[in-house]
Amino acid sequence: MRNLLIFGVLAAAAAAPAFAQEVTVTGNVALTTDYAFRGVSQTDESPALQGGFDAAFGNTGFYAGAWASNINFGAGGANLELDLYGGYKFALGPVAMDVGVIGYLYPSASDDAAELDYYEGYVKPSIALTDQFTLGGAVYWSPEFTGESGDGLYVEVNGAYVVSPELSFSGAIGQQQVDAAGFFAGDDQYMTWNVGGTFNAIGLGFDLRYVGTDVDNVPIYDDRVIFTVKRAM
């Protein structure tokens, strides 16, 4: 609840100048063989149904949205994740910037469990090196990461290559760390990566992706291939 209130105040402050503008709302729904967040399965390596919507406020660069997915954190754990976010996109010379706040909420989590809700501030720069190739990065920071694990920092480098309007490839490599010793299967940090391609046809996006981490002998951290079908509305 504490994180939800903080997120609400920050999102309202960020989006306030945009409310007088024309609002464009888009939606999305997806079915995936596994919901992996930063390389870690959130569904115990099982399928997930996901969906959300985004609102853009005219040409101001301000946006807000919500997204949800089923999850599986085991007996007594959460079975639903709800993300709320808001931010601002702008150009800094040739660099496209995206700054904002995202809150991760677990409304079905047991009250006697460690606090799962948390929020992150983020900065995501990207630059189009050619008409087809975009190179980007991301920094996410939380003053109290999930599970009351202390300060959290995630840093990523990513890239995307558009072959045609129907076909594109993308990948990323990142590192997640927290203050709490041993929080991630015996360590306070881990590396994650993914690479894959998306093919658009018949109004759907078909994504095939290889996802992995450097954590050994823990099933939810194992390398895997994930297939996702997504529809934008």
pLDDT of residue 109: 84
pLDDT of residue 111: 62
Mean pLDDT lowest among 3-7, 36-40, 51-55: 3-7
* pTM as predicted: 0.91
CATH of the domain at 125: 2.40.160.40
Instruction: Indicate if the pLDDT at residue 8 is higher than 60.
Output: no
Total domains in the chain come to 1
Q: What is the DSSP letter of 148?
A: G
Pairing of strands 95-105, 118-123: antiparallel
pLDDT of residue 113: 63
pLDDT digits 0-9 by tens, 100-137? 999 999 998 876 667 899 999 999 999 999 999 999 99
pLDDT digits 0-9 by tens, 91-100? 999 999 999 9
Instruction: Indicate if the pLDDT at residue 16 is higher than 60.
Output: no
Maximum alpha-carbon separation in the chain: 52
Q: Which amino acid, residue 202?
A: I
Q: Under 8 Å CB-to-CB from 158, ≥6 apart: which residues?
A: 135, 136, 137, 138, 170, 171, 172, 173
% pLDDT > 70, the chain: 89
| Structural domain span for residue 191 | 2-232
Whether residue 231 contacts residue 29, with contact meaning beta carbons closer than 8 Å, is answered with yes
Let me know how many helices (H) and strands (E) the chain has, helices first: 1, 15
- Count of CB atoms within 10 A of residue 129's CB? 12
